Amino acid sequence: MADTEKLSKNELKRRQKAEKLAAEKAEKERLKKEKAEKEGKKVVSKEVESTDPNEYFSLRKNFVNQQKEQGLNPYPHKFVVSISLTGYIEKYQNVKEGEIDKNQIECLSGRIHSKRESGTKLIFLDLRAEGTKYRLWLL
């Protein structure tokens, strides 16, 4: 801050308050770090290193290539898909409205393109995959 800069009272108070809060925050972090060191715990800083987007892309690309060379899928599913969306539509197109088979469980995958809530309990979802769209409703 330059000495020639004129500040209003409000601006001066705002800056003083910000400096005070920053000092308190630094003191809290220092105390927390000291306490963790006494207890033998590892301290993780909340500051994030900024990485150049091009560098991040090249690192990610190298990781994906290494995974593929090792025979691993770098983008694994978190669940097993039991039937495709088109197969689901074909299999259940003749089921009557309101008919439920609780013994049959199917796992579908796709992207949800829209979600519409109709009241507190009824939700409509538009699921899209393989060039097809299917409307689901949840209770």
- CB within 8 A of 117, min separation 6: which ones? 123, 124
CATH classification code of 76-93+105-139: 2.40.50.140
DSSP 83: S
Q: Which of 30-34, 76-80, 105-109, 130-134 has the lowest mean pLDDT?
A: 76-80
Lowest mean pLDDT among 71-80, 106-115, 116-125: 71-80
pLDDT of amino acid 45? 52
Tell me the per-residue pLDDT of 56-105, one tens digit each, with 9 for 90 and over: 889 889 999 999 999 988 887 677 888 999 999 898 888 888 788 888 88
Compute the distance between CA of residue 64 and CA of residue 77 in angstroms, rounded to an integer: 15
Percent of the chain with pLDDT over 70: 89
Quote the tokens at residue 56: 């991040």
